[in-house]
Amino acid sequence: MKNFEFASPTTKKAAVGLLENDAVVLAGGTDLLSQLKDSLVSPGRVVNIKEIRELQGIEFDPSRGLQLGALVTFAELIGNRTVREEYPSLVQAAEGVSSPQIQNMGTVGGDLCQRPRCWYYRNGFGLLAMKDGQSMVKAGDNRYHAILGNSGPACFVNPSSLAPALIALGATLQIFTANGERTTSIEDFFQIPASEGEKEYDLNDREILTGILVPPRGEKISAVYEVRQREALDWPLSAAAVAMEVKEQQITSARVVLGHVAPIPWLSSAAAEALVGKALTEETAAAAGLAAVQEAVPLSHNQHKVRQARVAVQRAVLRAAGMEVS
């Protein structure tokens, strides 16, 4: 690890002013420190944003919704009574990160901005892992790679635990730039890179994610379901988040988002269409699961993820309705 400058600004403006050339942002550090150790990044400056008070805290207003500072930890999210009551899917997603150490250090902003866990990328072969014009992923061990959105060179899966639930809930991100603040819907924040120089999220070098606004819950019910290889700390094999409105046992609106199956959190309009206008039953949940993976294109070694994603959607729907099956 090469030497670097370390700065701890106390304002957003000062932080952005320090983000130049090869500077990187430090929040919880649960991803950045591993990148530094593995020489995936070699910054000239590390900008610690943990001293910026306006990036902290959880606020709730019934008319405006839930405001999360980017530095809110997973532990704070899990322990907040209002979040548990109003947005259970966020708590379920956060609890999936089972390590107490990461729950207490990892931040909601860092979770959205973490880099892929693809073993080709983590071993220094680049985000797209291309060699001699060919994809190392498609020709190699791709057990944990994408089954959706993988028609181009990007085959990694988005690693965020919270993003599927936040997209299902219609959250908005607040980003501070050198020219002031901008906002973007969270589904527009993530992007599939077409070349090695592109990022997988819409955040420029001189911008920081400052907060997340989740709309009022209203009549929505929501849930997250993750398919895991083990209960110990690990990333899910597949996951799904749903948010639905139900009136008189009929689903009137729905958003279904798959996680860990595509380079971006995958918003499935087909699964939503399979739900809307239907009674909330096990059969409807199963139909939504099938619809969610109808366009899946598994790679040579990850056919199993199609079934896992289907089951994740089915069980997320049932979990939201209080009909969870074992």
Burial of 125 (C-beta count, 10 Å sphere; 0-12/13-18/19+): middle
Residue 304: the pLDDT is 97
Q: Is the CB of residue 218 less than 8 Å from the CB of residue 84?
A: no
Element (H, E) at 255: strand 250-259
The predicted structure's pLDDT at residue 325:
64
For 23: left if phi > 0, alpha if psi spans -120 to 50, otherwise beta; the answer is: beta
Extract the tokens encoding 206. Answer: 């001189």
Residue 80 corresponds to which amino acid?
N
What is the residue whose two structure tokens read 């993530």?
A: 190
Average pLDDT along the chain, 326 residues, taken 10 residues at a time? 91 95 92 91 95 97 97 97 97 92 94 95 96 95 97 97 98 96 97 94 94 96 92 84 94 98 98 97 97 98 98 97 77
Residues forming a β-bridge with 201: 190
Whether 112 and 160 have beta carbons less than 8 Å apart is answered as: yes
Amino acid of residue 108: V
Q: How far apart are the C-alpha atoms of 173 and 190, rounded to whole Å?
A: 11
Cα separation, 157 vs 148, in Å, equals 9
Q: Which two tokens stand for residue 148?
A: 């959706």
3-state secondary structure of 265: coil
Q: Residue 319 belongs to what H/E stretch?
A: helix 304-320
Q: What are the pLDDT digits (tens) for 118-155?
A: 999 999 999 999 999 999 999 999 999 999 999 999 99
pLDDT digits (tens, 9 = 90+) for 218-238: 999 999 999 988 776 778 999
DSSP single-letter state for residue 201: B
Domains of the chain: 54-114+158-214 (3.30.465.10), 220-320 (3.30.390.50)
Tokens standing for residue 34: 């591993």
Three-state secondary structure call for residue 209: strand
pLDDT of residue 109: 97
CB neighbour list of residue 242: distance below 8 Å, 6 or more residues apart = 89, 168, 222, 223, 254, 255, 256, 257, 313, 316, 317, 320
| H-helix or E-strand spanning residue 99 | none
